[in-house]
Amino acid sequence: MIIVIRLPLNCPFYSSFPVAKQLMDYDIQLGYKSFNLEAVRAALIADTPVPQSELNKIEWVMQHQTMPPTRYVALHWAGGVSDKERTDILNWIADQRERNYASADTDAAHRNEPVQPIPRNIPVDAKKVDLGFRLYHDERLSGDSTISCAHCHALNAGGVDGRKTSIGVGGAVGPINAPTVFNSVFNIEQFLGWPVLQPCRSKQVDRR
């Protein structure tokens, strides 16, 4: 499917008129502020899955028919979204979810929902599990070789430390608490502990 993004390249004759110009400029700026389509565009160009959050936003707008705003359509008579265009976009969202995000364990009636249950099983490499367990409890990975991942993310306590904010190297008190590591295999970003996110463990090592 091809998604056409209408850009104000050929503005109507009244676009420079007083009042109309101000209203149109306001709508354009509000649109950019409310929803940036760059992530969607980048994914389509790279032929990669469109982020779920972007799909959810577009779906909500299409279902509730909140875009374009009524005032915009009043000034741009051909600027509305037709029923066919709306259906095409919703079908494209469903296809994106089916191909990239739907869980194999989900009933067909629920495969187009934005939140999917975790699968019953995932591929497991026993060697990686063993290595991960050892690294998880290895205090040498901390700045002064005194604290391991398990220090703040105890596996026998729900993957957390139960503190309002965690205590780190040298007794330093962090600004945030320790999120659970349970089901973290499904996270799209890796939690570093203090206080940033990185896409992979190699970045975490660099950060340390």
Residue 94 sits in the same domain as residue 134: no
Sign of torsion, CA 13 30 32 3? negative
Q: How far, in Å, CA of 166 to CA of 173, rounded?
A: 6
What total number of domains does the chain contain? Answer: 2
CATH number at residue 147: 1.10.760.10
Whether 6 is covered by a domain: the verdict is: no
Q: Residue 177: give the domain boundaries.
A: 126-207
Residue 39 sits in the same domain as residue 100: yes
β-strand partners of 190 = 198
**Which residue in the block uniquely carries the two structure tokens 């206080």?**
195
Q: What is the pLDDT along the chain (208 residues), one digit of tens a residue?
A: 444 444 444 566 666 777 777 877 887 777 777 778 899 999 999 999 999 999 999 999 999 988 777 777 776 677 778 899 999 999 999 999 999 998 888 888 999 999 888 888 889 999 999 999 999 999 998 888 999 999 999 999 999 999 999 888 888 888 888 889 998 888 877 655 544 444 555 555 544 4
